[in-house]
């Protein structure tokens, strides 16, 4: 019954918005979107700290006009399924979707995201150029770095090629679902381009000889580091900062070969009829105040140039100008095309017997 009532309220609000748009003429949508949200939007996201920080730091920037924001918490796969189902429908149950950059590109390629209207996103002008897209705004980002136990590793490694050092045999940890990015990183570690998948797989074959341990999640990776089961791994810099705050004696190395970024993005769904609230919400995600809050709590770097983090926080979560120049763009189209092949190699060649 509550679901029926909710859908009814959504329908009445959407029809009311259409009536208002008819009265105001062709400029109604842009006029409303540029100001405060006065309707209702549903944002699909992850739960936990991510949702809490959105509510605390984004909602107040969007809803002073009386609008409301509702969060649909679930897995990335569930959001993708909803976007596909509602892309061409008359109404949508989700107006904004938050996804990792590779998943968002797939949704864009399937026509389930709305084109960004830059006139309604003034904060987009401050986005770091490497993260600009035409279909989603970049919220926060990190990069794939080498992480090591400072108590057990005496010589600081300088890049991913160092994992092939026999001293690390049996002490390397990898996460199962990072197979694609590890392939790209392997190509970089071998001195090639990230797009050279054959070279990346050659590196993984060499790495396999070091008997790495494979874990189902980043949390399991942290437990293995804490216990001393492994002493070195590859993961996102933001995770390293979270582990250090939790008391793990670890540090990270920005690989000399370059680092692959992971960006968490937000897009208006193709089926949404709530642009008047959706675009202000995306614009608020790029507000310096909101970006600072995520940096302080989650350890992810801002995607804007004017975040003005305190020096100590910038040093901890941010990336230097030289490091940003060594952020290697990911070819998402290439990943999509060869995803099945890379997964087959990982499961049937690399992972067998580990």
At 90 the pLDDT is 81
Radius of gyration of the chain (CA): 22
| Residue 10, pLDDT above cutoff 60 | no
Structure tokens at 248: 């793990």
- Helix count (H) and strand count (E) of the chain? 15, 10
What 8-state DSSP symbol labels residue 259? B
Q: Which of 85-94, 258-267, 287-296, 344-353 has the lowest mean pLDDT?
A: 85-94
- Average pLDDT, integer, range 140-152: 96
Determine the pLDDT at residue 225. 96
Q: How far apart are CA 308 and CA 295, in angstroms?
A: 11
CATH 2.170.130.10 at 2-141+262-317, yes or no: no
* pLDDT at 203 (0 to 100): 97
pLDDT in tens, 181-233: 999 999 999 999 999 999 999 999 999 999 999 999 999 999 999 999 999 99
pLDDT score at 64: 87
Confidence category of residue 33, pLDDT binned at 50, 70, 90? very low
Per-residue pLDDT tens over the stretch 233-275:
999 999 999 999 999 999 999 999 999 999 999 999 999 999 8
pLDDT in tens, 76-126: 999 999 999 999 888 889 999 999 999 999 999 999 999 999 989 999 999
Read off the pTM. Answer: 0.83
Domain 142-261+328-346: homologous superfamily in CATH: Periplasmic binding protein-like II (3.40.190.10)
Q: What percent of the chain has pLDDT over 70?
A: 90
Distance CA 277, CA 43 (A): 11
Q: Which residues, including other chains, have CB under 8 Å from residue 115's CB and lie 6 or more apart?
A: 134, 135
Q: Which residues pair with 72 in a beta bridge?
A: 44
Kindly indicate the confidence band of residue 21, based on its pLDDT and cuts at 50, 70 and 90. very low
The average pLDDT across 123-145 equals: 95
For residue 334, with 0-12 CB atoms within 10 Å meaning exposed, 13-18 middle and 19 or more buried, which class applies? middle
In this prediction, what percent of the chain has a pLDDT beyond 90? 81
pLDDT score of 36: 64
Q: 321: helix, coil or strand? A: helix
Of residues 273, 310, 268, the one with CA closest to residue 291: 310
Strands in 176-313 per DSSP E: 213-215, 232-236, 250-253, 261-268, 301-302
> What torsion, rounded to 10 degrees, do the Cα atoms 198, 202, 204, 208 define?
150
Query: Residue 342 has what pLDDT?
Result: 96
126's CB contacts (< 8 A; 6+ apart) are 286, 304, 305, 306
Residues 218, 266, 108, 271, CA torsion sign? positive
For the chain, give percent helix, strand, coil, nearest 5.
50, 20, 30
**In the chain, domain spans:** 2-141+262-317, 142-261+328-346
Domains 2-141+262-317 and 142-261+328-346 share a fold: yes
Q: Which residue has the higher pLDDT, 12 or 319?
A: 319
């Amino acid at each position: 019954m509550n679901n029926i009532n909710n859908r009814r309220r959504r329908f009445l609000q959407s029809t009311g918005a259409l009536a208002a748009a008819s009265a105001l003429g062709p400029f109604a949508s842009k006029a409303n979107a540029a100001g405060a949200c006065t309707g209702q939007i549903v944002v699909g996201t992850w739960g936990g700290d991510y949702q809490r920080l959105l509510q605390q730091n984004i909602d107040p920037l969007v809803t002073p006009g009386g609008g409301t924001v509702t969060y649909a918490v679930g897995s990335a796969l569930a959001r993708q399924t909803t976007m596909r189902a509602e892309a061409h429908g008359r109404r949508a149950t989700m107006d904004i979707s938050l996804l990792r950059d590779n998943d968002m590109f797939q949704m864009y390629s399937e026509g389930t995201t709305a084109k960004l209207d830059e006139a309604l996103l003034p904060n987009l002008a401050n986005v770091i150029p490497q993260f600009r897209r035409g279909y989603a705004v970049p919220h926060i980002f990190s990069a794939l770095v080498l992480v090591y136990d400072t108590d057990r590793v005496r010589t600081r490694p300088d890049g991913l090629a160092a994992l092939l050092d026999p001293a690390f045999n049996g002490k390397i940890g990898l996460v199962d679902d990072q197979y694609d990015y590890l392939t790209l990183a392997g190509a970089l570690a071998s001195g090639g381009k990230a797009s050279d998948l054959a070279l990346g797989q050659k590196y993984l074959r060499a790495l396999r000889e070091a008997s790495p341990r494979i874990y189902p999640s980043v949390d399991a990776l942290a437990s293995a580091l804490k216990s001393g089961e492994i002493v070195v791994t590859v993961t996102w810099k933001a995770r390293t900062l979270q582990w250090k705050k939790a008391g793990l004696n670890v540090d990270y190395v920005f690989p000399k070969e370059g680092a692959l970024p992971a960006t968490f993005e937000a897009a208006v769904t193709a089926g949404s009829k709530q642009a008047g609230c959706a675009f202000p919400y995306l614009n608020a995600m790029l507000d310096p105040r909101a970006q600072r809050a995520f940096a302080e709590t989650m350890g992810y770097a801002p995607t804007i140039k004017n975040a003005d983090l305190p020096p100590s926080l910038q040093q901890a979560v941010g990336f230097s100008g030289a490091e940003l120049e060594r952020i290697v763009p990911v070819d998402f189209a290439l990943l999509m095309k060869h995803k099945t092949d890379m997964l087959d190699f990982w499961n049937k060649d690399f992972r067998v017997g580990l």
